[in-house]
Amino acid sequence: MRHGVSAIALIALTACAPEIPDSAAGVGFDDYTAYRQQRDAALAGETTGVAPTQESVAGGSSGTQDDPGAGTETGMALDVDTNNPGISDEQSFQAVTARETIESDRARLEMQRELYKVIPPQPLPPRPGDTGPNIVEYALRSTNSVGEKRYDRLSLFDSPEALARRCARYASSDKAQQAFLASGGPERDRNGLDPDGDGFACYWDPAPFRRAAGN
Average pLDDT, the chain: 75
The predicted pLDDT at position 182 comes to 94
207: containing domain: 135-212
Whether 113 and 142 map to the same domain: the answer is no
123 pLDDT band (50/70/90 cuts)?
confident
Residue type, 24: A
Residues 31 and 112 in one domain: yes
Establish if 5 belongs to a structural domain: no
What local confidence, expressed as pLDDT, does residue 30 receive?
Answer: 57
Of all residues in the chain, the percent with pLDDT exceeding 70 is 63
In a domain, 188, yes or no: yes
Split at pLDDT 50, 70, 90, the class of 175 is very high
Domain assignment present for 173: yes
Q: Are residues 116 and 150 in the same domain?
A: no
Alpha-carbon gap, residue 165 to 157, rounded angstroms: 15
Verify that 153 and 192 share a domain, yes or no. yes
Residue 72 inside a domain? The answer is no
pLDDT of residue 21: 54
In this structure, are 102 and 143 located in the same domain? no
- Per-residue pLDDT band for 176 (boundaries 50, 70, 90) equals very high
- Is 193 part of any domain? yes
158, part of any domain = yes
Rounded Cα distance, 204 and 172, in Å:
9
Residues with Cβ within 8 Å of 169's Cβ and at least 6 positions away in sequence, in order, are 176
- Is 77 within a domain? no
Q: Residue-wise over 147-173: b if at least 16 C-beta within 10 A, else e?
A: eeeeeebeeeeeeeeebeebbeebeeb
Number of domains in the chain: 2
What is the model's pLDDT at position 16?
A: 57
Specify whether 141 is located in the same domain as 198: yes
Residue 52: inside a domain: yes
- pTM for the whole thing? 0.42
Q: Are 206 and 138 in contact (CB under 8 A)?
A: yes
Contact (CB, 8 A) for 199 and 150: yes
- The Cα-based distances of 83 to 67, 69, 94 in angstroms read 18, 20, 16
Same domain for 146 and 108: no
In whole angstroms, give the CA distance from residue 42 to residue 34: 12
Q: How far apart are the first and last CA of the chain?
A: 86
